[in-house]
Structure 1
Amino acid sequence: MQASYYTPDQIGLLPLEPGIYKYYDEDRRLIYVGKAKSLKKRVSSYFSKQTGVDRKTRKLVSEIRFIEFTIVNNEFEALLLENTLIKENQPKYNILLRDDKSYPYICVTSERFPRIIAIRRFEPGLGTYYGPFASVKAMNNVFYLLRSLYHIRTCSLNLSEDNIRKGKFKVCLEYHIGNCKGPCENLVSEEEYNRDIEQAEYILKGHLSQPRQYFKERMQEAASQLEFEQAQRYKEKYELLEKYQAKSLVVNPNIADVDVFAITSDEKCAFINYLKVINGAITVTKTVEVKKKLEETDADILALIMVEMRSRYNSNTREIITNIPLEIEVQDLHISVPKIGDKRKLVELSLKNVMYFKKERMSTLEDQRNKPHRVVLQLQKDLSLKNAPLRIECFDNSNIQGTNPVAAMVCFINGKPAKKEYRHYNIKTVIGPNDFASMHEVVGRRYRKLVEEEMPLPDLIVIDGGKGQLSAATDALKEIGVYGQIPIIGIAKRLEELYFPEDQYPLHIDKKSESLMLLQRIRDEAHRFAITHHRQKRSKAAFTSQLESISGIGETTVTRLLQHFRTVQHIREAPFEEVSKIVGKDKAQRVKDALTQAPGEVPSEDSK
C-alpha cells in the first residue's frame, strides 16, 4: 500500500489501481471517504460531472481542497478499508456506520478454565465475542441454554496451576447444587472442562448439530451400560437443544451456511435486511435503516453494509445471496442473485422483512408528524378549543406613515413554522394608515380564496393586535360565511392579552406557559415576515422612483432593468455594453450618465 496527497487540479496524476480516497476541506478536516476500482477514474468523475448531480454532491465538491489516497490489492480490500475509516472518522458526507455498542454480547474468556459472560463494551484481549444480540432477553435465552447444558464456572478467581496446587480456593454453592464441576479444587481436568467450552462455542456460532450429536452419543452410551439416570440427563439436554433449535426458522438443511441480504430504498433512506443461515437455520436476523448523504446507489450501500454485518456477527460463510447484483469480485467468496429454488425463497423472505420494516418505519414517521405536539395540546387546553390547533395561521400588518402598506401571514403546523405556507399581501383597497381596514382586506382575501378552491381551513387564526384588528378580521370571516367554523383570537402586544370575538374581557395565560410562548413566537414571526416584505417593497419603490426620474426612461424600461440588475448599484457598476443589451444604446447612455453624475443621486428633469 502507499499514500499520497493531491489537490483537485492534480487529479490526472492519480493511479488507475484500486484503493480508497479521502477528501479534506480547507481546514484539513476529513469530509468524505470512498472506494474505487480505479482511483483516477472515480475521483475524476466528481469534478467532470456537470449535469444530473444533486445539490449535496455539488456542495461536497465545492469543499474539497486536498485529496489523499491509499492503493490496495483489489476492490474488496478497498471496501473493507472504507468501512473501517468511516466508522473511525464519521465524515459528514458519508452514510453513518456505527457499532451497536449498546447491544449485549456473550464473551468466552481467554483465561484458564474460561468463563462465559455477558458484556456490552468491547475489551481487547478479554476473549472471543459472540453476538450482538438484538435484546437482553435473547441473550439470556442463550445463557440459560448454556447453563442448563454445561457446568461452566461463574466465579472470577485466578485459577492458575500454582493457585490450585496451593489450595487457595474452596468450592462454593454452585458446586454443591450441581452447576459447577469445581475446577478451583482441581475436581475436573482442564481437558474435560475445555470440551464443554468447545461444545458451548459451537452453540454460540449457531452450529447445533455437533452438540446434538454429542449428547445423543453420550445418551446411547450410558443406556448401553445400564446407567439409566445418566442417560436420562443426557436425553434431557438433547431435547433441550432440539427445543431451542425449533425456535429458529429452519430453511433447508441442504443449503448449509449462507448470508442473505435484501435492500430497498427511497430518495432519503435505504433499508437493508440481513439473515445469517447456518446449517439451514436462520440464527440471526437484523434490519437497519441508512440515511443517504450523497447519490449513493443501492449497490454501493449494500456492499458497505454487507461488510459491516459480516464483521458484526462474526460471519465467515463463503456464500452471499442478495436481491440486487454486486459488482465486487472477492476470492473464495461467491455473491449471487438466485432466480429459483430455496435460495430464491430465502431472498424473498429477506425482502419481505425489509419491506415490512420500511412500511412500519414510514407509518411511524407519519404518526409522529400527525400526532399533536405537547405544546399544541396544551394550547388546546388553555384556549378551550374543540380540536387540537395543528395548523395555526397568524396575520400582521406593516406600514410607515401609511406608505407601502403590506400584510403577512405565517403558518405553523404542529407547533413548527411551515415556511412554504407563508404569504405576503400588498394592500389594494385601503388608502392611508388604516390597520383595521387592511386586516379586514387580507383576512377576507385569504379565506375567500381557500373557500373558492375548496382547500382545508386552519385550526386556529391568530391576529397580531387587540380588539380593533380582531373585530375587523371577524367581520371578514362573517362576510365569507366561515365565522364560527374557525377559532380566531387576537394577541395584544403590551400585556400579552388574548382576546376572543365578542368577549368583553381578555384571557390571561401564565407568562411561563409553553402555549403562550408558542403564540408569542408565531406573532413575532408574522411581524418579522411583514417587516421584511415592507422593507423590500420600499426599496423597490425607491429604486423605481429613482430611475423613472431620468428623462426618457419610462415604466417599461425600469421594469426591464429591475428584472436584470435588481439594484441601482449593479446598474452603476455594470459595463455600458451590458446595459445597452437590455434597453438599447440611447437609453443605456441616459441611465449611465445620470447614475455616474453623483452616486446614489439621480438628477431631476429640472436640474438639467
Structure 2
Amino acid sequence: MTSCFNFGAFSKSIPHLPGIYKYIDVEGNIIYVGKARDLKKRISSYFNKTLPSIRIEKMVSKIADIEIIVTKSEIEALILENNLIKSLKPKYNILFRDDKSYPYLKISLHEYPRLHIVRLKPIVDSKKLEGQYFGPFPDSYGARETIKILQKIFRLRTCEDSVFLHRSRPCLLGQIGKCSAPCTRNISFEDYDKNIKEASLFLNGKATAVLSDLKQKMQIASDSMNFELAATLRDQITALKSVLHKQAMEHIGVKDTDIISVVRESGKTCINVVMIRNGRHIGDKNFLIEVGEEEGIDSLLESFVTQYYSVRALPDVIVSSHRFSTLDNIDLISCQQSKKVSLSFKPRGLKSSWLGQSIENSKIFLAKHIDSQYLRKFRIKNLLYELGICVETYEQLYIECFDISHYSGESTNASCVVFNKCEMQPSRYKLYNIENIIPGDDYAAMGQVLYRRFSKFENRDMPNLVLIDGGPGQVEIAKKIFIQLGLDIKLIAGISKGEGRKVGLETLHFADKRPAISLGANSPALMLIAYIRDEAHRFAIEGVRNRVAKLRNMSLIMNVDGIGKKKSQALLKHFGSLQDISCATIEEIMSVDGISRSLAEKIYDFVRS
C-alpha cells in the first residue's frame, strides 16, 4: 500500500532535531503520534519501500498530512508523546491508552494521621506528595486488603477529616476494635504515633522488626501485670504472624522488582506486570493488547514499557519474558527519573519462579477473556435478532444507556454509559449535572440529559440502541425529545424492572408501535441489556455520591468567616478536596484567586482545628 501524502515535498521542511510527529488522515483525525531523536530520519523510515508490518503499511496508506513539534531534547519528546497519546488516543497507538494511575496508601500529616487510598502519578504529581506514600498497588482491591490488615494490627483511623473532627463517640470500627478511636481521644497522641511508625515499618517491608518489637512490648506489659495491654499486643502479634504466613512471596532484602511477561493467542496479546515491593508480592495487573501476529513482541514490549514508565516510578529491577527491540527509551526514562534500573531477560532462581507465575497468569487471563468474548458475542447475536438491529459485525453494535440518580431529590445526576466493540467503554462514559428541575422529577431529568446529549448529534453518529432505565413514562419523554430533534424514535428502548426488581422479570418498552416484550430470565439478550443497565445505574450513583461529598466539603469550608460559595468552589477546584486543603500550607492556600493572607490563615486554622 502507498500513501496519498506527498512526502517528497514535505521532507524538505523536516529538521534533523528531536521532537514528536502526528500522522493525520483525510478526515482530519490524528491516527498516530510518535517521538524521534531525529525527526527527518524517523519520519522518512515510514516511507521506505519495505515496512516492518502489515499494520504499519495500513497506517501509512491513510496518512494525508503530517504535523511535527520540535522539542529541546529527546526526553521532552518522550514526555510529550506520552501525554498526547493519552489525550488524543490515536487509532494506531495501540498500546496502553489507559490513563488511570495505580492506587497508593497515604498516611497524612495530621496530629492523628489518617490512612487512606489515593491515586497519583509520582512523576507528574510531585507537588501533592505531602505525607507518607506506600505502593503502588496493582488495583484498589489490593490496597483495600492492605488497609484491612493494618486496621486489624495497628488500628489506624481511615475516616474523612470532616467525620473525625465532629465525632463525640467512637464509630463502629472503634467499637469492634479495628480503630483506636483517636477522634474521642481513646488513645494518646504518643501511643497513636507509635502505631503509625510501626505501620510504616510494616509497609516498608520490615514486618519482622515490627513483630520483634511487639513481642518485647508484650513481655514488658506482662511482667508489669498490665494484662489488658498484654492481651491487646498478643492479638496484634497473632494477626501479624497470620499475615506473614499468608505472604508466601515475601523475601527479605529483595530489591523492588517488576516482572513483565507477554503471552499471545488468537490475535490477542496479554502483558502481565507483577509488582514486588520491599520483598513483598503486592499483586499483578493484566493489559490486553489487540495486535496482529505480524507485530513483533520485542517492539511491542519496547512501546509498552516506554508508555508505562513515563508516568510511573521505575523499580530497581525489570524482569521480562522477552527482550526489548532497543533500550534507548528505557535509558531516557532512567535519565529523567535519575534512577538506574537493572534489566533481566533470562532470570534464575527466585526471579525465574516469579516470571513463570506471571506467564501462567497471562495465559489464564487471556483464556478467560477469549471465553468471555465468545459469550458476549453470543448475547449480542441474540440481542440483534430479538430487537431487529442491523449491523455488519458484532463490533459495530453501539449502545448508549441512560439512568437518573439523586440524593433525596437533590444533587440529581444523569449517567450515560457506552457499549461498543463488544464491551463497555469507560473512557466514553459521561455524567450530567441536572439543574433547574423540580427535585425528584425523573421525567424532566431524563428529558434534559437526552436533549443535551443528542442535540448536537448527526444521524450517522447515532447509537444502534438508546437504552433508557425506566418504563413507558421515561420512554414517552425520550420519544418527545427525539421527535423535537428530528431523530429516529425506533432507536429508543426502555427497560423497566419486574416484580421484586428481580433480574429476568424486566420488560422492554419501545417508542414506536412495537408492543412491549419480556425476554425472560434465560434470554442471553436480556443478560446483556441488564448488564449495561446495571453499569449505568452504578455510574449514576457514584456520580451522586461524589457530588454530595463535594457539596458537604463546600458547606464545611463556608463556615470560615469570609468564605462564600464562590471562594469555596475555587478552593475545592484548586485542591480537589477538603483533605488536600488540610495538607496545604498558608502560601499554597494564598495561591487561590481571591484568598488573602489573613483569609488563608483562617482557613489553615479551621481545617486543622
1:115 aligns with 2:114: yes
1:374 aligns with 2:373: no
- 1:447 aligns to what? none
1:331-377 superposed Cα distances (whole Å, 9 cap, x missing partner): 41111212533222222221121122222222333444566832588
1:247 aligns with 2:251: no
1:277 aligns with 2:273: no
CA contact (8 A) 1:171 1:185 kept: no
SS of residue in 2 equivalent to 1:338: coil
1:321 aligns with 2:319: yes
- 2:591 aligns to what? none
Match of 1:172 among 165, 169, 174: 169
Question: Which amino acid is 1:173 matched to?
Answer: P
Structure 1 residues 86 and 376, CA gap change in structure 2 (3 angstroms): closer
- 1:349 aligns to what? 357
* Cα drift, residue 273 of structure 1: 0.6
SS of residue in 2 equivalent to 1:325: coil
> For 1:66-215, what aligned pairs fall within 5 Å after superposition?
66-71=66-71, 73=73, 79-95=78-94, 97-99=96-98, 106-118=105-117, 125=128, 138-157=142-161, 171-174=168-171, 179-180=179-180, 182=182, 188-189=188-189, 193-204=192-203, 208-209=207-208, 211-215=210-214
* Cα drift, residue 67 of structure 1: 2.6
- 1:40 aligns to what? 40
Question: Which amino acid is 1:188 matched to?
Answer: S
1:360 aligns with 2:368: yes
Alpha-carbon distance between aligned partners in 2 of 1:121 and 1:277, rounded to the nearest angstrom: 19
SS of residue in 2 equivalent to 1:275: strand
- 1:432 aligns to what? none
1:11-59 superposed Cα distances (whole Å, 9 cap, x missing partner): 4665556554333457765432223454333221112244565266444
Structure 1 residues 249 and 73, CA gap change in structure 2 (3 angstroms): farther
CA contact (8 A) 2:318 2:342 kept: yes
- 1:424 aligns to what? none
Alpha-carbon distance between aligned partners in 2 of 1:150 and 1:213, rounded to the nearest angstrom: 15
* Cα drift, residue 180 of structure 1: 3.1
Question: Which amino acid is 1:172 matched to?
Answer: R
Alpha-carbon distance between aligned partners in 2 of 1:253 and 1:121, rounded to the nearest angstrom: 27
Alpha-carbon distance between aligned partners in 2 of 1:131 and 1:90, rounded to the nearest angstrom: 27
* Cα drift, residue 127 of structure 1: 5.9
* Cα drift, residue 146 of structure 1: 1.9
Gapped regions of structure 2 (runs ≥ 5): 1-5, 335-339, 398-511, 518-609
CA contact (8 A) 1:20 1:70 kept: yes
- 1:306 aligns to what? 305
Alpha-carbon distance between aligned partners in 2 of 1:105 and 1:196, rounded to the nearest angstrom: 19
1:292 aligns with 2:300: no
Structure 1 residues 83 and 222, CA gap change in structure 2 (3 angstroms): farther
Gapped regions of structure 1 (runs ≥ 5): 1-5, 161-167, 380-410, 418-509, 516-608
Q: Rg: which structure is higher?
A: 1
> For 1:416-565, what aligned pairs fall within 5 Å after superposition?
512=514
SS of residue in 2 equivalent to 1:153: coil
SS of residue in 2 equivalent to 1:32: strand
1:497-537 superposed Cα distances (whole Å, 9 cap, x missing partner): xxxxxxxxxxxxx984899xxxxxxxxxxxxxxxxxxxxxx
Question: Which amino acid is 1:284 matched to?
Answer: G
User: Identical aligned pairs, as a percentage?
Assistant: 26
1:336 aligns with 2:344: yes
- 2:505 aligns to what? none
SS of residue in 1 equivalent to 2:46: helix
Question: Which amino acid is 1:47 matched to?
Answer: F
CA contact (8 A) 2:142 2:282 kept: no
Structure 1 residues 83 and 105, CA gap change in structure 2 (3 angstroms): same
Alpha-carbon distance between aligned partners in 2 of 1:80 and 1:241, rounded to the nearest angstrom: 42
SS of residue in 2 equivalent to 1:172: coil
Alpha-carbon distance between aligned partners in 2 of 1:78 and 1:267, rounded to the nearest angstrom: 34
Structure 1 residues 351 and 38, CA gap change in structure 2 (3 angstroms): farther
SS of residue in 1 equivalent to 2:32: strand
Pick 1 or 2: higher relative contact order, CA cutoff 8 A, min separation 6.
2
* Cα drift, residue 92 of structure 1: 2.5
Alpha-carbon distance between aligned partners in 2 of 1:308 and 1:209, rounded to the nearest angstrom: 36
Question: Which amino acid is 1:21 matched to?
Answer: Y
Question: Which amino acid is 1:305 matched to?
Answer: F
Alpha-carbon distance between aligned partners in 2 of 1:256 and 1:148, rounded to the nearest angstrom: 27
Q: What's the TM-score, normalizing by structure 1?
A: 0.50
Question: Number of aligned pairs?
Answer: 379
Question: Which amino acid is 1:93 matched to?
Answer: Y
1:232-272 superposed Cα distances (whole Å, 9 cap, x missing partner): 42232233123223333416546443110011235843210
Alpha-carbon distance between aligned partners in 2 of 1:172 and 1:90, rounded to the nearest angstrom: 50
SS of residue in 2 equivalent to 1:143: helix
Alpha-carbon distance between aligned partners in 1 of 2:262 and 2:96, rounded to the nearest angstrom: 16
* Cα drift, residue 220 of structure 1: 4.7
Alpha-carbon distance between aligned partners in 1 of 2:198 and 2:97, rounded to the nearest angstrom: 32
Structure 1 residues 260 and 412, CA gap change in structure 2 (3 angstroms): closer
CA contact (8 A) 2:255 2:316 kept: no
Question: Which amino acid is 1:347 matched to?
Answer: L
Alpha-carbon distance between aligned partners in 1 of 2:392 and 2:183, rounded to the nearest angstrom: 69
Question: Which amino acid is 1:48 matched to?
Answer: N
CA contact (8 A) 2:314 2:341 kept: no
SS of residue in 2 equivalent to 1:47: coil
SS of residue in 2 equivalent to 1:356: helix
RMSD of aligned alpha carbons: 4.8
CA contact (8 A) 1:8 1:65 kept: no
Alpha-carbon distance between aligned partners in 2 of 1:338 and 1:325, rounded to the nearest angstrom: 9
